[in-house]
């Protein structure tokens, strides 16, 4: 059987403050701090990972804390919304929680027959907590304050805002195997049937809107998931055959990655399941140490002095 894209793997965004970011995602949203490492291409900067217990594909939101970068601006050529799946009946809990913590949010609304609550993280990154109309079997990470009956289960969808959706839609359908599943006005929902969660991509077409500016509160790139290296090679060849400038495979320690920019301007990645986040830390200790790739291990003394101290 030909390899297939298995929905979303991870999403990487930008924050202006590592500690503020850590506090919001672990203490307010109740996610697990899965990995503390560095940006492999900029080792003087952290790379922080949040997700479920094991950092399962489809749950992983990561951040580059470029402190002092200033705020981004939503517009075309960007991933503008990240949707998380939450259980039915949980939105009242989240409304009160965001009120209690002084978090910016909107009243619940509905699209494609699903209730959702919009919230902005401290940098202005737009998140949506969505009560999926199909059961989500994934087991969430829980805390003393955020129980399984309300906790985020992983990604539900992402939204790309584009001046013209055609080229991006062609990538989703012709290369990644997604199908158009729904449409409302200028929002087009594409879905894959290969996974039960993290399976949806919304394209919003706004021809007259200015291009966005990627900085704090913006998504840097979106990664789609494949099972293994054989599937990775298959999709690299498929992407290249369509004329895209795709990178060679890059070892990111926890997954293998290739990158290309889709026609609407969003940076896409394809990432493997292997080897996973327990390659350098046992499951019970994920996120407790500063984990460095072997090429940057000699820099550890300098990095431990330079990187801001984080309080878990």
Return mean pLDDT, the chain. 97
Say what the pLDDT of residue 92 is.
Answer: 98
Q: What percent of the chain is modeled with pLDDT above 90?
A: 99
Query: What is the tens place of the pLDDT at every residue in 113-130?
Result: 999 999 999 999 999 999
* pLDDT, tens digit (0-9, with 9 covering 90-100), for 29-44: 999 999 999 999 999 9
pLDDT of residue 254: 98
Instruction: For the chain, give every domain's residue range.
Output: 8-306
- Find the mean pLDDT for residues 218-234: 98
Give the pLDDT band (50/70/90) at residue 143.
very high
Residue that is written with structure tokens 């209730």 in the block: 115
If pLDDT is split at 50, 70 and 90, which confidence band does 1 have?
Answer: confident
Cα dihedral 265→261→67→65 (10° resolution)? 130
Residue 153's pLDDT is what?
98
Q: What does the DSSP assignment read for the chain?
A: ------SEEEEEEEES-HHHHHIIIIIIS--EEEEEEEETTEEEEEEEEEESTT--TTSEEEEEE-TT--B-B--BSEEEEEEEEE-TT-HHHHHHHHHHTT--B---EEETTEEEEEEE-TT--EEEEEE-SS---PPPP--SSS-TTT---SEEEEEEEES--HHHHHIIIIIS--EEEEEETTEEEEE-SS-SSS-EEEEEE-TTSPBPB-SBTSEEEEEEEESSHHHHHHHHHHHHHTT---PPPEE-SSEEEEEEE-TTSPEEEEEEEEE-GGGSS-GGGTTSSB---GGGGGGHHHHHHHSPP---
The per-residue pLDDT for range 153-210, each reduced to its tens digit, is 999 999 999 999 999 999 999 999 999 999 999 999 999 999 999 999 999 999 999 9
Give the pLDDT band (50/70/90) at residue 272. very high
Region 46-65 average pLDDT: 98
Instruction: Give the per-residue pLDDT at 257.
Output: 98
CATH topology of domain 8-306: 2,3-Dihydroxybiphenyl 1,2-Dioxygenase; domain 1 (3.10.180)
Give residue 96's pLDDT: 98
């Amino acid at each position: 059987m030909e390899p297939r894209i298995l929905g979303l793997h991870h999403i990487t965004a930008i924050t202006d403050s590592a500690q503020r970011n850590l506090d919001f995602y672990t203490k307010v949203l109740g996610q697990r701090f899965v990995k503390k490492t560095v940006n492999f291409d900029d080792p003087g900067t952290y790379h922080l990972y949040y997700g479920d217990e094991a950092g399962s594909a489809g749950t992983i939101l990561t951040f580059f804390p470029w402190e002092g970068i200033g705020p981004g601006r939503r517009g075309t050529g960007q991933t503008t919304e990240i949707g998380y799946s939450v259980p039915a009946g949980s939105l009242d809990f989240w409304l009160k929680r965001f009120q209690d913590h002084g978090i910016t949010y909107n009243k619940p609304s509905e699209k494609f027959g699903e209730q959702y609550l919009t919230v902005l993280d401290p940098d202005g990154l737009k998140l949506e907590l969505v009560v999926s109309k199909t059961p989500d079997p994934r087991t969430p990470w829980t805390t003393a304050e955020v129980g399984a009956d309300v906790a985020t289960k992983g990604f539900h969808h992402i939204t790309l805002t584009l001046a013209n959706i055609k080229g991006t839609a062609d990538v989703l359908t012709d290369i990644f195997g997604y199908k158009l599943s729904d449409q409302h006005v200028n929002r087009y929902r594409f879905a894959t049937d290969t996974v039960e969660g993290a399976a949806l991509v919304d394209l919003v077409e706004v021809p007259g809107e200015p291009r966005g500016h990627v900085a704090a509160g913006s998504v840097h790139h979106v990664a789609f998931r494949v099972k293994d290296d054989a599937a990775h090679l298959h999709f690299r060849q498929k992407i290249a055959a369509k004329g895209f400038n795709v990178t060679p495979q890059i070892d990111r320690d926890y997954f293998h990655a290739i990158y290309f920019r889709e026609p609407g301007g969003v940076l896409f990645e394809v990432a493997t399941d292997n080897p996973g986040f327990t390659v350098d830390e046992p499951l019970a200790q994920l996120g407790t140490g500063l984990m460095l790739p072997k090429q940057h291990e000699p820099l550890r003394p300098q990095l431990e002095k330079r990187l801001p101290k984080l309080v878990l």
